[in-house]
């Protein structure tokens, strides 16, 4: 691996916010393209973080700081770039369903999706069913990702599924109380128990579209 890209990747993994922009400058000065820096440096670093999270080497607190380092690098690189860095992955509308204000899990999924170069539209928390559908239609999304950590708001996922009937996006669900059985019961297109599995699920489903 190119030493400049490896240094950027390691900076993300090591939560090195102080040096990430300088490392990007070095990479650019040595002829590396924006896309190489994004895909093989920044994104590769965050994908390594996902592996460490899955193996319980890193926990939520570390993932958040790694994500801050990633975002600082991405924003800096975008500012230096003469063009928009394209996301060539599937388009995903993501959010926490209406009535739920817990978004740490959703934010981790968002980080993993962005690291995989997916094009993510994050609606945040407490999102009404019709707003998921409206945004998905607006951006021509491939997927709608729904999250909840509360049993009392699980039924809101079914509202989105019903509103989406006859439409293109596939609906993926997840969160603490969610299971594959519940996904089958409400007619969701997919379920994942964690963020790493969510990336794999999207890739599998996208290849079948």
Residue 119 has which token pair? Answer: 């094009």
**Which pLDDT belongs to residue 197?**
85
Confidence of residue 107 (pLDDT cuts 50, 70, 90): confident
Burial readout 91-111 (b: 16 or more C-beta within 10 A, e: otherwise):
bbbbbbbbbbebbebbbbbbb
The DSSP string of 158-203 is: HHHHHHTTTSS-EEEEESTT--HHHHHHHT-SEE-SSHHHHHHHHH
The secondary structure of the chain in percent helix, strand, coil, rounded to multiples of 5, reads 55, 10, 30
- Cβ 141 vs Cβ 93: under 8 Å: yes
On the CB side of 105, CA atoms within 13 Å amount to: 22
Could you tell me the two tokens for 162?
């019903």
Q: What is the pLDDT of residues 18-66, one digit of tens each?
A: 999 999 999 999 999 998 998 899 989 988 988 898 788 998 789 889 9
Return mean pLDDT, the chain: 91
Secondary structure of residue 145 in the 3-state scheme = strand
């Amino acid at each position: 691996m190119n030493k400049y890209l490896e240094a950027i990747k390691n900076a993300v993994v090591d939560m090195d916010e102080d040096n990430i922009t300088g490392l990007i400058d070095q990479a650019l000065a040595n002829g590396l393209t924006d896309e190489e820096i994004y895909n093989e440096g920044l994104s590769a670093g965050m994908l390594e973080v996902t592996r460490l999270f899955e193996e319980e080497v890193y926990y939520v607190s570390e993932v958040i700081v790694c994500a801050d380092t990633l975002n600082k690098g991405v924003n800096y690189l975008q500012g230096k770039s003469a063009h928009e860095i394209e996301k060539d992955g599937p388009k995903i509308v993501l959010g926490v369903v209406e009535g739920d204000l817990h978004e740490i899990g959703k934010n981790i999924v968002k980080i993993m999706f962005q690291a995989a170069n997916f094009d993510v539209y994050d609606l945040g928390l407490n999102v009404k069913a019709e707003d998921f559908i409206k945004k998905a239609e607006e951006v021509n999304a491939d997927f709608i990702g729904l999250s909840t950590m509360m049993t009392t708001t699980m039924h809101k996922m079914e509202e989105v599924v019903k509103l989406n009937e006859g439409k293109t996006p596939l609906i993926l669900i997840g969160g603490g109380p969610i299971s594959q059985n519940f996904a089958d019961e409400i007619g969701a297109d997919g379920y994942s128990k964690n963020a790493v599995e969510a990336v794999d699920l999207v890739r599998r489903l996208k290849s079948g579209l």
